[in-house]
Amino acid sequence: MPNANIMNVNDIMAGTGGSAYLEIADERYCLFNIQKYKAQVDLTKKERGLLGKSGRVNYVTGWKGTFTATVDFNTSIYTRMMQVYKDTGEFPRFKMFVTNENFSGSTGRQEVILSDCLLDSTVIAMLDTESDGLSMDISGTFDDFDLSEGFTEMPNYRVS
């Protein structure tokens, strides 16, 4: 059983194997212009003393969801969101659907849905005569998420 705990090379996830969609007010947009995307959850922790322990203990008190992306500068959707806020005082919340897919390995796909997303900022106009293509960074927060579909567990991943 010397090779039982070796990962199959086909289970390495390709960064291009996936899709992303943005949904605002029941309208869905394909984000095929994403170059990079990352959503993460950071835990909020507290520290305190506990009887019977010589060190301090940590415990989780909450979490915060954030996302970052680099996108091609070829859509006005983010500018429209800013204009809605400018004109009405209400910033449109949106959902993001992000899927990773492994076509050749055993892990399959994972889909995460981020809800109640808000942008931190966005570029509304841009020029660059030295660029091969215009891109911009966006970031924001989300208040909820759902793992609607998870990866299939790799063979021999669980050892006990």
Domain definitions of the chain by residue range: 16-149
Q: How far apart are CA 129 and CA 133, in angstroms?
A: 9
Mean pLDDT for 130-156 is 93
Compute φ and ψ for 85, nearest 5 degrees.
-65, -45
pLDDT at 2: 56
pLDDT at 152: 86
Q: How far apart are CA 97 and CA 77, in angstroms?
A: 16
pLDDT at 157: 79
Tokens 């039982």 correspond to 4
pLDDT at 129: 95
pLDDT at 159: 76
pLDDT at 58: 96
Secondary structure E strands in 49-108: 57-72, 94-101
Secondary structure E strands in 4-143: 18-24, 27-30, 34-48, 57-72, 94-101, 109-121, 135-142
Could you tell me which CATH number the domain at 16-149 has? 2.30.110.40
Torsion of CA 86, 136, 110, 154, to 10 degrees: -150
What is the pTM (predicted TM-score) of this model? 0.87
Q: How far apart are CA 121 and CA 80, in angstroms?
A: 12
In this prediction, residue 3 has a pLDDT band, given cuts at 50, 70 and 90, of low
pLDDT at 154: 82
Q: How far apart are CA 10 and CA 94, in angstroms?
A: 34
* Selected residue with higher pLDDT from 65 and 13: 65
pLDDT at 155: 80
Residue 51 Cα distances to 47, 54, 55, 147, angstroms = 13, 8, 10, 37
Q: Which three-class secondary structure state does DSSP give residue 27? A: strand
Mean pLDDT for 16-43 is 93
Average pLDDT, the chain: 92
